[in-house]
Amino acid sequence: MTASLSFTGERFTPEARGAIWYEHWHRYCVALPAVAGKRVLDAACGEGYGSWLLAGAAAEVVGVDIDDAAIAHAAGRYAARSNLRFVSGSCDALPFDDASVDRVISFETIEHLSNQTAMLAEFRRVLAPGGALILSSPNKVVYSGESGNENQFHVRELDRGELETMLAARFPQQHWYGQRALAHSLLWREGGTGSRGAELIALVDDRVEVQNVPAPAMYFVVVCGGARAELPELPALSIFDDGALSLYRDYERALLAEKRLFWDEVDARKIAEARLAELVVAVNDLASSREREEAVSLRAVSLDAELERMQKALSQVSGALSQVSGAFDETAARLAYRESWRGWSRWPLGRARRLFRGRGG
């Protein structure tokens, strides 16, 4: 099996998913009835998936692209259909004879070329007089204006007026269609259609409005041709899906992931808040501990000062006590002497001496 082309953003590959998958496949699917039994040119066929799909209904299909690698890939991957071939060439210089095809399919091509009028001239040249061009182009006002897309591979995007004027020079007959991937609620009658046709309704500012179009077109799809062309009709409303609601499933998965992220953030916030509360308690405890430490430290300083004062006072008392003790010892010694036999024997003589000195003096 041929390996798939890498998706670079320049051209669509069928392995890409999302809205781009719906947009590209829808255009080819809706064009199938218009190519039934016809000779078809798929201009700028790229990977070749669209040419392959068209070949299932057309008499013959040729895909042309300026990228030789894309053409080689397409020729290898889609070789099973004998009514399908791929050719290298530029859309503004097609390697085909005049009036050689009945339908030209050109989806998302014109914005990639600088010489857009030359491309349209080539399309007109290779189309048979009754043939038709089915072309799509991004609506510049919405594609890069409203949505802010900046596609580096787009040389010149067109708004509706510019595209209409450019087409009118060679394709005066035009049927316009709008395309955009949207999310809607669909309601349909089972078992066939009733008397009421398709209806587009919207609830806008509490008002129910019946609208002409679902939304501003992201892409224009134009079926156009010369004065003698018999233009095929595309459906007034075409709703496309891959049968598995993949685009909406992608939305659901993204929404679920967003919800999970939200609740993860909520849980993380709760954990952070609990941790913060723990930290606040710890800080308060630390502050209280520091206050207690400071109080103890101040008390210790006070006790140290008081102890120093007490030691000084004790020293002073000890000194006084030493003096008193000395005096007491001296008095005790005297009393003891007096009570001794020598003291008693000398005390009267000493007393007489003191009295005699007192009289003589």
Distance, in Å, from the CA atom of 40 to the CA atom of 131, rounded to the nearest integer, reads 10
Whether 179 shows a pLDDT value over 80: the answer reads yes
Q: What are the tens digits of pLDDT across the range 265-308? A: 777 888 888 888 888 888 887 777 777 777 777 777 777 777 78
Q: What amino acid is encoded at 242 in this protein?
A: D
Supply the pTM of this predicted model.
0.70
> In this predicted structure, which of 121-125, 212-216, 290-294 has the lowest mean pLDDT?
290-294
Distance, in Å, from the CA atom of 191 to the CA atom of 75, rounded to the nearest integer, reads 43
Whether 359 shows a pLDDT value over 70: the answer reads no
Distance, in Å, from the CA atom of 36 to the CA atom of 291, rounded to the nearest integer, reads 93
Q: What are the tens digits of pLDDT across the range 52-84? A: 999 999 999 999 999 999 999 999 999 999 999
Q: What is the pLDDT of residue 95?
A: 97
Strand ordering across the sheet containing 60-65: 84-88, 60-65, 39-43, 101-107, 127-138, 219-225, 173-179
CA 267 to chain centre: 20
Query: Is residue 120 within 8 Å of 170, Cβ to Cβ?
Result: yes
Helix (H) or strand (E) holding 322: helix 246-339
Helix (H, G, I), strand (E, B) or coil at 57: coil
Tokens of 89: 């060439």
Listed in sequence order, the residues at least 6 apart from 277 whose beta carbon sits closer than 8 Å to its beta carbon are none
Q: What is the pLDDT of residue 32?
A: 96
% of the chain exceeding 70 in pLDDT: 88
Kindly indicate the confidence band of residue 323, based on its pLDDT and cuts at 50, 70 and 90. Answer: confident
Query: Is residue 156 within 8 Å of 114, Cβ to Cβ?
Result: yes
Q: To 10 degrees, what angle do helices 341-360 and 246-339 make?
A: 80
Distance, in Å, from the CA atom of 57 to the CA atom of 44, rounded to the nearest integer, reads 19
